[in-house]
Chain A
């Protein structure tokens, strides 16, 4: 026992000692009175993350994205100084946000430059292409978004599910073809969501957030988390052959659901930013696009017993997040949360792809090189690309 205890203590010590050295070094470098690394000049940086147009007021949400704390001292509209208010206060620590209210009688559809000046006289600006009244949260509007979310998310997925009887009746290789189509569809959606996340981060996120790495990290974390869950789920259902397809279909639904949340976000944000024409297009495009997602859910279930309730449940799980996405996008849009959700969606989809490929491998006994699988993936990608042009 004695020996074991000392060896345990040694183990702990060997783990802690390097860490203690690291702490000591950091304390030495950053500690009081240390000017070892007092090199270079830290510049302030303010990012204007969001501009909203309220009744005779422009409201800018700003964030200190620099390396030092700053005081915000002035606001301007189109480079003309205006009295304004900043809430909660003008002092912003690193990454702290504040809301700047600029009383201003703005005109609909005109472009505006919003400027923020910090205490060292540096001015940061953001251009708004066309001013549009911001959406005030109301039950009526929430209902409107719910209807749009239903059109975009739930109904198309349900329509896609109606292909189930068709898929049921076809031969095994044709069935594999449809499963492979699902892989192609999802691959496209995953790439699409990643691209969207990267685009949002490039356009609106401050450099200090390391946008590309943020997307990569969240995609991977989301992938790993869902992969872990789904492996457990599929393994535990291995006892009965019937429920494995259900488990796979469930994971597909969750992945698509997370993806549809991102789509809802895009639609809500487009309406919120006043791009109404664009959002009508988005709605039609997403509706056609999402019908294919129903096929993705239906395919794994094709060889099992038809269960209407289960199918409907999976359809809602995949489609309903579009409603919540539209609410969030329309009412509380922030680029940071948008990137996070898009990345989670992408990770979820990549995870589903891995599950499907594994399944195809098991079923196929081949190395995924059958005509059905290869052509299926290709057709899936192509169909998605062609329907995406509609958006």
Chain B
């Protein structure tokens, strides 16, 4: 009897000794959202990309505009030709370690930012290299048979879309094959900008597509971002200059969630809904956008420093839709 009790007691004692045996071998550290530094002997689970490790570079996409192959027609008008290839078998690392089957225009989500001037002829050579039917449906003004709805393009098929660029503004394009939500949520979308003939005032221009990924297909987004990669602009701030006009073309392509929004810190922006008017609609730091709602935001920073921008639906910002502008003194000021 006594031996049984002693044996069980000594086994029980082991539980108290055990924690001491787990000692740090090779400690790594990471920083929490509240700034605490934590050590671990294991692996770190933190969605931080380096510019070298990110598969889709949001910094590059931000200021990259595709003007197409330009030729001048006999009547003096400008023709802009684009080749867009749709694919639906790409596996993309959308957040560190998270692999998701994206459906892409020219290999990326979002697809290329197509830019033309009002009155240009835009010609899109569309090739479907996917396994499913796809189309390109552009928002804007065009003929009914150029709408990318009733002309589904099968696997290996092609289609040429053509129209006169109109109206001035910022428009989304996306695949319009059913089930529509599936095709858009997988990444078949991009931005189409029509500049006014006289142009806009010079500015540091950038494109932000507000999007998300539902990686477990429960019709709720697991990740949110401006330009696909969660938290990227937070870890790699967008560098801007003070006293310089910043112009952001913002399109909300989020699926599943009825709204998204854009809040800017330490500043307010002039907002041009859909970019169709040259007179700002409002001066604010917070605009709420429904699906495919978009507009142009213009602002200037006076004071240098780091300024956050994010969804003020903070659930989205805590799941990746958050970034930082790093405003530096413009060269004119540094003497």
Partner-B contacts on A (CB < 8 A)? 56, 71-75, 79-90, 98-101, 103, 105, 117, 119-123, 137-139, 142, 313, 316-317, 320-321, 324, 327-328, 331-332
Contact = CB atoms under 8 A, between A and B. Distances in A.
Given A121-B98, A121-B213, A123-B216, A86 B8 contact: no
Contact of B216 (A82, A90, A121, A332): A121
Given A73-B96, A86-B44, A120-B98, 10 more contacts: A72-B45, A73-B95, A74-B45, A83-B46, A85-B38, A121-B94, A121-B216, A320-B5, A327-B15, A331-B15
Contact of B41 (A73, A88, A316): A88
A332 B43 contact: no
B130 to A, nearest CB: 20
12 contacts: A74-B47, A81-B319, A85-B42, A85-B45, A86-B45, A87-B40, A89-B43, A90-B42, A137-B15, A139-B16, A321-B8, A327-B12
A334 B190 CA distance: 49
A321 B38 CA distance: 39
Contacts, number: 118
Nearest to A141: B16
A83 B97 contact: no
B42 A89 contact: yes
Contact of B45 (A75, A320, A327): A75
A121 B41 CA distance: 24
B230 interface: yes
A135 to B, nearest CB: 11
A191 B116 CA distance: 77
A80 B315 CA distance: 7
Given A79-B315, A320-B5, A85 B215 contact: no
Given A87-B40, A327-B15, A123 B45 contact: no
Nearest to B40: A85
Contacts of A90: 42-43, 45, 97
Interface residues of B, number: 41
A37 to B, nearest CB: 24
Given A81-B230, A85-B43, A121 B30 contact: no
B97 A119 contact: yes
B8 A83 contact: no
B248 to A, nearest CB: 24
Residue of B12, B31, B45, B315 most packed against chain A (CB within 10 A): B45
Contact of B99 (A80, A99, A121): A121
A313 B41 contact: no
Contacts of B40: 85-87, 101
Contacts of B38: 83, 85, 101, 103
Contacts of A105: 34
Interface in B83-112: 94-100
| Most chain A Cβ neighbours within 10 Å, of B28, B94, B100, B215 | B215
Nearest to A71: B97
Contacts of A81: 47, 230-231, 318-320
A101 B320 CA distance: 20
B50 to A, nearest CB: 15
B32 interface: yes
B33 interface: yes
A88 to B, nearest CB: 5
B230 A332 contact: no
A103 B318 CA distance: 15
Given A74-B47, A320-B5, A83 B12 contact: no
Contacts of A101: 38, 40
A316 B222 CA distance: 55
A142 B16 contact: yes
Contacts of B34: 103, 105
Interface string B307-335: 00000000100111000000000000000
B15 A83 contact: no
A327 to B, nearest CB: 5
Nearest to A123: B216
Across the A-B interface, the 7 shortest Cβ-Cβ residue pairs: A121-B215, A87-B42, A73-B97, A85-B40, A83-B46, A80-B318, A90-B43
Contacts of A317: 1, 4
A313 B1 CA distance: 7
A390 B283 CA distance: 66
Given A72-B45, A137-B15, A332-B15, A119 B230 contact: no
B144 interface: no
Contacts of A139: 16
Given A83-B46, A98-B42, A73 B98 contact: yes
A85 B30 contact: yes
Contact of A117 (B1, B33, B36, B98): B98
B19 interface: yes
A309 to B, nearest CB: 10
B222 A117 contact: yes
A56 B35 CA distance: 13
Contacts of B100: 120-121
B42 A137 contact: no
A118 to B, nearest CB: 8
B39 to A, nearest CB: 8
